[in-house]
Amino acid sequence: MTDFRSYYGRPVVRPAVWRKDIAGYLFTGGLAAGSALLAAGADLTGRPGLRRVGRLTALGALGASTYFLVNDLGRPARFHHMLRVAKPTSPMSVGTWILAAFGPAAGLAAVSEIAPRLPGGPARTAATAAGRAAGLAAAAVAPALATYTGVLLADTATPSWHEAYPELPFVFAGSALAAGAGMALVAAPLAETGPARRVAVAGAALELYGSHRVENELGLLSEPYKQGRPGRLLRAGRALTAAGVVGALLGRRSKVMSVLSGAALLAASVATRFGIFEGGIASAADPRYTVVPQRERLDRITRTPSTPVTAAPERAPAQD
Amino acid sequence: MDNAASPAAASGYADPPRRMGFFTDTSVCIGCKACEVACKEWNGVPDDGFNLLGMSYDNTGGLSANSWRAVAFIEQPAPPKAPDGGAGDLRWLMMSNVCKHCTHAACLDVCPTGALFRTEFSTVVVQEDICNGCGYCIPACPYGVIDQREGDGRAWKCTMCYDRIGDGLTPACAKACPTQSIQYGPLDELRGRAEQRQAKLHEAGETSARLYGNDPGDGVGGDGAFFLLLDEPEVYGLPPDPVVTTRDLPKMWRTAGLAALTMAAAVVAAFVGRSR
Amino acid sequence: MAEAHPVGFQWVVDAKQRGAKVIHVDPRFTRTSALADRYVPIRAGSDIAFLGGIVNHILSRGLDFREYVLAYTNAATIITKDFRDTEDLDGLFSGWDPEAGVYDPASWQYEGHQEDSPSVAEVAAHKEVAGGLRHESHGAPVGRHTQRDETLQDPRCVYQILKRHYSRYTPEMVQEVCGVPPDVFAEVCRAWTENSGRERTTCLVYSVGWTQHSVGVQYIRTGAIIQLLLGNMGRPGGGILALRGHASIQGSTDIPTLFNLLPGYLPMPHHAQHPTLDKWVEGTIHQAQKGFWGSARAYCVSLLKAYWGEKATPDNDFCFGYLPRLTGDHGTYQQTLDMIDGKICGYFLLGQNPAVGSAHGRAQRLGMANLDWLVVRDLYEIESATFWKNGPEIETGEIVTEECRTEVFLLPAAAHVEKEGSFTQTQRMLQWREKALDPPGDCRSELWFFYHLGRLIRQKLADSTQPRDRPILDLAWEYPTHGPHDEPSAEAVLMEINGYTLPDRQPLSGFSELKDDGSTVCGCWIYSGVFKDGVNQAARRKPGTDQDWVASEWAWAWPMNRRILYNRASADPDGKPWSERKKYVWWDPERNEWTGFDVPDFEKTKPPSYRPPDGATGPAALAGDDPFVMQGDGKGWLYVPSGLIDGPLPTHYEPVESPIRNPLYKQQFNPTRRYYDRPDNPLNPVGSTVFPYVFTTSRLTEHHTAGGMSRTLAYLSELQPAMFIEVSPELAALRGLRPLDWAHVVTTRAVVEARVLVTDRLRPLRVENHAVHQVWLPYHWGYAGLVTGDAANDLLGIALDPNVLIQESKVGTCDVQPGRRPTGRALLAYLADYRRRAGLSEGNQRG
């Protein structure tokens, strides 16, 4: 059923009032998570260069994330009100506590990178040990950090976000891995980037699979992800992901290729996040995406086609 | 304790009063907008701008942070004549829209600061000294009610005049409504009255009359503010079959958990057994 | 009603929920129509044809409530043989005097009462001063004994005259003239007649959509004829409810702010007709007539005592000589034109905004720009206070701020919650208002203003020896005051209006206690009783839920707290209710008195069987079955032998601006209409192709009158934020009008621009076999306030109903064009071009 009725073509649900900060946070949060995981793995397998890049990126991205989140608030000075409650029904509340756990851990891990500059002995050892512990703690929280945002978006009435709830955590997990790997390819010593390349492949696979489902398996609700700016962003993201992975695999020995493919993976992650974000907003702004699936659902339940009281569809306003 | 019967009790109130609500009977709405003005007067809500919208007589443009009651106007051809004759071939539907104060309120569920809370009357209210404008409630609401106020940053919506009903008074909109299109009272009583009204309209040949939001079995557990409509909900800008997003949250967390594990496993696999 | 009286409309909704059928007749589908069971679209200005069709339906099928009609109306009364109807004279009645511009009503009189007829000169003078207005509380003088044919067969009886008069108002004619389809018309006829009679009554409700026409009074008369024929007058659930345009406008005619009336509808004396008190009293009553108007002398003298107190004595005719005298037409529109002509020096405007609220806005503003001084008292800086620096004439250069000679004083007024006093609404109910808070700053009530203005003027004149100053100096002007601003006591004024005896100042219980010897004071005889027993009856607030359905203990209605007038008619000639279901007031034979749910509108102890002795006059002349106690013959008048300028029977005339010729008669317009034929008051020619569309104006719920009290408030302004025009989709296509774009409306007076709202609620009507397009404008806008726009009233010219001088503002012709209007000098050129194309020259209307 493509014919539907609405109130002068006005939205039924409200699009999120979040600004680009939140789409940006999706990226930086994922980057922080991916980087923390890579850093922990690097720490445990003796890859200090990779470790350092991971830890510093994690902290930097976390800092950016915090800025984005606080800046987007209607009352930024009241950001700490988030800590008043811990509500499992609120992904944002859950996320607040995830960040509260991740932040200090990532921070300590990053700070501990000055350990080599410390005078030898107990100070250095302590710093290194603290760093490892913190890094592992951050890595333990990182998967939650990367995937809870999928739930954050899905736990709304925004049709294309909600309908994509089985996919979004996987898309975001993949995107986080690819971003982390991308940063490693850009900044870490070539010799230590092996795991990053494998993580890039895994991340890309998750991201591409999830995105494909989102763009094709949601019926009418896939439409906002395929058209307009969201469509362009998601397609760019896919292309950049593909290019980045190919480049990552082929460029094992080339710094230039590695940097380029890393950059592509980072850009892909940005594009994908913005594409998902804007696709959802678009699905909320057009009443079609709220009304049609609900009306179809109702008609299936009553097993009769809806018989509207009047035959005429609504007149759209002239300035449409 | 049945959450639907008393969300207040389910929220932890020891001995809450009866659940209070609105029944808006659009069949007697005359579109006078007294509800809009009374609400703003009582609650000090700012004006929403002077914009001619061209949507019949609706220049309010729906519910928002600055419009907690908003009257919708729909001019349409009238349904085929009922046996005893109709008004002619034209119909003008009017409805005073308001926050539904859902039994299962998504805005309340997702609020990360605890600003939104369930009152002892089972209504849903925002505490404006706590809200930090995170904006999460806004896309969560299946009816598109709650909104962020420009220049202020916080989320605002109908309080069902919490500061009036606490003193046994009637909410401002219901008090001002001249035709009792807006009725306030104990929700179970209102539901009974609404069913009678619908039956009466059907008897009189107005078969398009239907109740909306009155069913505790619907996707939000029934609304604390429900309606009698004369056409499909979407004609009025209402969702045909709203479902509280929280209903799917357990599955969402499970999916996220799975994705998180997959993510961790992928990283582990990338590092295991390779020296390079 | 839902638009303009939303709170009152709840009772209609209530009734509908109890099974009442609601029919709404209007040029456009409004929020009232949305709740009605049946909406009837009608061409603006054609209501007499519509109603006449219903009269025809009733009479040709014999559906009238025969016993009621026979006993309680003048249906059986015989008219003189010289009477000729519009059917005979192609749209005129007999007696037309083209030079005088009025009829000689001698041939209209009841048989045997030709001498009752006023002369042509009297009628002409009557027309000048809108004498018809004073019949609001009583009928015109007519002797009591009339000749009747109880079989209603005599061709000269009113019933037969009525039948003939409306015989051509067939359903086909209704369709042709009004654009109402025959099946819809049939439904209305059926519903109305089937819901009238012993067991059921139908209520007719109208408002200014009926009054503001050059035949406005006759519109209402037609409604009254139907309600009398169907036996709905004086009965519960029946009657005619006249909704007003303002919350206390009933009060403004009861205690009048009109030039030709004194309180209680006593006529303002005329310089030639009323040189003495006796002549004045005589002019107020007719010697041989029945009814309570016979006691007019007492009402007049008591009023004079209220004005001049102890200075008013029998020796000086109770200061009758001090009353101002009418010299002609002092109506507001004549005054406006006089202002333009430089004949008026000063003007007080209190809560009135003629710059945008009266017809012919340009004339209003040009008039006000040609005064010595203007005092405006209002809550806001309204357009009438700023025309000298803002407004259309400033734009066009017709008024130049630096050169405008009027000195304008703007004084702040208290709002209605900031002062105490009474409102009188459409049911003649006086409701007292308490003061809720003090007015801010310098804002003051009208009472304060006039009291102190009078006090100061008297102070300044205190040493004067001029005779012309005596009326002011001899006024009884002592009222108790209180508070820091010396606010006069409104209750003291109400007490004076109620009346009291002298010298002991005992409050009167009703007008029957008034004396003509100077021993009683009464500011308004119909209000007497409002302070009965020294209790402010208008302040009573016993909830309706604690009373019976008549709720007489809520506030107070005049006269005597009677809620339904002429309620004797709710019982049959023997005094028994017409039905148990509709009983209201009835004769109790045990107690020998009238009793019931309301104050009987009849002498309490006069039995139904009473027949007056020969030669009786006044109340004693009323029989036990004469329910219409204020009419000269005690009957409801289907046919009006005298008192109305334009005829004894309502007749369809076209509005002064119409797209078509009168399909019924050669006579196009109301021949007696008031029209000011001057170059600054042009009218669009009939059937002009330059002005092919019909426009009508009315209200929106969201705004109030010309917007002074609503467009100054954000919460109301945002509900309807812009001046707009409603057009049908057909007209939009015809003229290229797009939704929300601009369009402008043109008449020979002005151009007004508005945003377009295309809606199916307006339809082209099939009139005389071609489509007549109607457009609608709200008249709430002006150039001051939070939201501004052009004023619809600028489009109107000045043409008035001859009986009451109300302007025809509900219908006119116009052109509609897309886009904004020109401004400045270009606007004047644009208008001039239209006038030229319409073929306008000097004196453009005849007929």
C761 interfacial to chain B (CB closer than 8 Å):
yes
Using a CB-CB cut-off of 8 Å, the residues of chain C touching A317 are 739
Do B110 and A291 make contact, defined as CB atoms within 8 angstroms? no
Neighbours of B, requiring at least 3 CB pairs below 8 Å, are: A, C
Q: Is the pLDDT of residue C302 over 50?
A: yes
Which chain B residue's Cα is nearest to C22? B87
For residue B274, pLDDT over 60 is answered with no
B32 vs C contacts (CB less than 8 Å): 2, 6, 31, 701
Sign of CA dihedral C331, C333, C336, C337: negative
Average pLDDT of the residues of chain C:
93
Instruction: Give the DSSP H or E segment for C559.
Output: none
- Among C13, C37, C761, the residue with its CB nearest the CB of B75 is C761
Burial-class residue A69 by CB neighbours within 10 Å (0-12, 13-18, 19+): buried
Q: Which two tokens stand for residue C696?
A: 């009508």
CB C799 within 8 A of CB C806: no
Residue C152: its pLDDT value, please?
A: 96
The reply to whether A2 touches chain C by the CB within 8 Å rule is no
Please state, as a whole number, how many other Cβ atoms lie within 10 Å of the Cβ of residue C692: 17
Helical (H) or strand (E) element with C593: strand C593-596
What does the pLDDT read at residue A312?
Answer: 38
Q: Chain B: residue nearest C786 by CA?
A: B50
Mutate to test the interface with A, among B3, B109, B243, B267 (most CBs of A within 10 A): B267
The average pLDDT across B7-27 equals 95
Residue-level pLDDT at A205: 96
State the average pLDDT for chain B: 94
Mean residue pLDDT across chain A? 92
pLDDT confidence of residue C841: 61
Of chain C, the percentage scoring pLDDT greater than 90 comes to: 88
* Close Cβ partners of C741 (under 8 Å, ≥ 6 residues apart): C755, C756, C818, C819
Domains of chain A listed by start with CATH number: 16-114+126-296 (1.20.1630.10)
Mean pLDDT, residues A73-83 taken together: 97
User: What is the share, in percent, of chain A residues with pLDDT greater than 90?
Assistant: 87
Question: Which chain A residue's Cα is nearest to B62?
Answer: A10
Residue with tokens 């980057």: A31
Counting Cβ atoms within 10 Å, is residue B199 exposed (0-12), middle (13-18) or buried (19+)?
Answer: exposed
Q: What is the pLDDT of residues C231-245, one digit of tens each?
A: 999 999 999 999 988
Nearest to B255 by CA among A162, A61, A160, A293: A162
Q: How long, in residues, is chain C?
A: 847
* Sequence-ordered alpha helix ranges (H) in B55-184: 106-110, 137-140, 162-165, 172-176
By DSSP bridging, strand C407-412 and strand C373-378 are parallel
- Measuring CA to CA, how many Å separate C362 from each of B34, C105, C748, C749, C798? 34, 37, 12, 8, 11
Q: E strand or H helix at A283, and its extent?
A: helix A255-285
pLDDT digits (tens, 9 = 90+) for B192-226: 999 999 999 999 999 999 999 999 999 999 999 99
Chain B contact for C722 (CB, 8 A cutoff) = yes
Cα gap C136→C68, rounded to integer Å:
23
Percent helix, strand, coil in chain A (nearest 5)?
75, 0, 25
Cα A200 from Cα A189, distance rounded (Å): 16
Task: Identify residue C411 by its one-letter amino acid code.
Answer: L
Q: Give percent of chain B above pLDDT 90.
A: 91
**What does the radius of gyration of chain A's CA atoms come to, in whole angstroms?**
22
Residue A318 has pLDDT above 80, yes or no: no
Cβ neighbours of A319 in C, within 8 Å: 739-740
Select the residue of A72, A297, A314 nearest B241 (Cβ to Cβ). A297
Q: Give the residue-averaged pLDDT of C10-29.
A: 95
Contact B88 C38 (CB under 8 A): yes
Residue A261 pLDDT class (50, 70, 90 cuts): very high
Q: What is the pLDDT of residues C587-601, one digit of tens each?
A: 999 999 999 999 999
Measured between beta carbons, which residues in chain B are less than 8 angstroms from residue A92? 110, 112, 134, 136
| Model pLDDT, residue C287 | 47
How high is the pLDDT of residue A314? 38
Q: Kindly give, in sequence order, each residue whose CB lies less than 8 Å from that of residue B139, ignoring residues fewer than 6 positions away.
A: A13, A14, A15, A16, A156, A157, A158, A161, A280, A284
**What does the alpha-carbon distance between residue C608 and residue C565 come to, in Å, rounded to a whole number?**
18
Determine, for residues C10 and B92 on separate chains, whether the beta-carbon distance falls below 8 Å.
no
For C11-170, strand residue ranges (E) read 23-26, 38-41, 96-97, 102-103
CB contact under 8 A, A162 and B111: no
Residues of A with CB below 8 A from C739's CB? 317-319
Helix (H, G, I), strand (E, B) or coil at C112: coil
Cβ–Cβ < 8 Å for A177, A145: no
Chain A hits for C737, CB-CB cut-off 8 Å, are none
Yes or no, beta carbons of A41 and B267 under 8 Å apart = yes
Dmax (CA) of chain B: 88
Q: Does the beta-carbon distance from A12 to B238 stay under 8 Å?
A: yes
Contact B260 A144 (CB under 8 A): yes
- Residue ranges of B 43-62 with Cβ closer than 8 A to chain C: 47-52, 54, 56-57, 59-60
**A315: pLDDT strictly greater than 50:** no
pLDDT per position as a tens digit, C63-116: 999 999 999 999 999 999 999 999 999 999 999 999 999 999 999 999 988 887
Residues of A in contact with C727 (CB under 8 A): none
Phi/psi for C772 (5° steps) reads: -105, 120
Q: Render C436-463 in DSSP notation, one character per residue.
A: -SPPPTT-B-HHHHHHHHHHHHHHHHTT
Distance CA C391, CA C792 (A): 13
Instruction: Read off the pLDDT band of C256 (50, 70, 90).
Output: confident
Chain C hits for A310, CB-CB cut-off 8 Å, are none
User: What are C571-586's pLDDT values in tens digits?
Assistant: 999 999 999 999 999 9
Query: Inter-axis angle of helices A20-44 and A255-285, to 10 degrees?
Result: 140
CA distance C84 to C88: 6
What's the average model confidence in pLDDT over B244-273?
Answer: 95
Summarize pLDDT for C507-528 with one digit per residue, the tens.
Answer: 999 999 999 999 999 999 999 9
Residues of A in contact with C738 (CB under 8 A): 318
**What local confidence, expressed as pLDDT, does residue C840 receive?**
86
Nearest C-alpha neighbor of A95 from the set C346, B252, C123, C93:
B252
Closest to B239 (Cβ–Cβ): which among A45, A73, A294?
A294
Residue C548 near residue C535 (C-beta atoms within 8 A)? no
Other Cβ atoms within 10 Å of A291 Cβ, number: 26
Please report which confidence band the pLDDT of residue C126 belongs to, taking 50, 70 and 90 as the band edges: confident
The DSSP code sequence of A170-231 is HHHHHHHHHHHHHHHHHHS-GGG-HHHHHHHHHHHHHHHHHHHHHHHSSGGGGHHHHSHHHH
Residues C686-707 have a mean pLDDT of: 95
Tell me the per-residue pLDDT of C760-797, one tens digit each, with 9 for 90 and over: 999 999 888 789 999 999 999 999 999 999 999 999 99
d(CA C187, CA C242) in angstroms, rounded, equals 24
Arithmetic mean of pLDDT, B97-112 = 98
Report the alpha-carbon distance of residue C623 to residue C71 in Å, rounded: 11
**Would you say residue B78 has pLDDT above 50?**
yes
> Which chain B positions have a beta carbon within 8 Å of A147's beta carbon?
256-257, 259-260, 263
pLDDT in tens, C746-764: 999 999 999 999 999 999 9
pLDDT of residue C137: 45
Whether the per-residue pLDDT at C609 is higher than 70: the answer is yes
CA distance C49 to chain B (A): 21
ipTM of predicted assembly, 2 dp: 0.94
Return the higher-pLDDT residue of C614 and C334: C334
Cα–Cα dist C444/C426, whole Å: 27
A-chain residues within 8 Å CB-CB of B252? 91, 150-151, 154-155, 165, 169
Lowest mean pLDDT among B112-121, C125-134, C661-670: C125-134
C542 touches chain A (CB under 8 A): no
> How high is the pLDDT of residue B191?
97
CA distance A145 to chain B (A): 9
C309-330 average pLDDT score: 94
Nearest chain B CA: its distance from A267 CA (Å): 20
**For a pLDDT cut of 70, what percent of chain C falls above it?**
97
Query: How many Å apart are CA C525 and CA C284, to the nearest integer?
Result: 14
Predicted local confidence at residue C843, as pLDDT? 40
Tokens 């720490």 belong to: A43
Q: Tell me if chain A has a CB within 8 Å of the CB of C736.
A: no
Q: Which residues pair with B226 in a beta bridge?
A: B23
* Model confidence pLDDT, tens digit, residues A249-259: 998 999 999 99
Tell which of A6, A10, A17 to mutate to test the B interface (max B CBs under 10 Å): A17
For B141, the closest of A14, A287, A291 (CB atoms) is A14
pLDDT at C6 over 60: yes
Per-residue pLDDT of C463-502, as tens digits, reads 999 999 999 999 999 999 999 999 999 999 999 999 999 9
User: Which residues 145-174 of B have a C-beta within 8 angstroms of C?
Assistant: none
Looking at the complex, report in whole angstroms how far the Cα of residue B180 sits from the nearest Cα belonging to chain A. 24
Task: Judge whether B107 and B144 are in contact, CB under 8 Å.
Answer: no
Q: Distance, in angstroms, between B54 CA and closest chain C CA?
A: 6
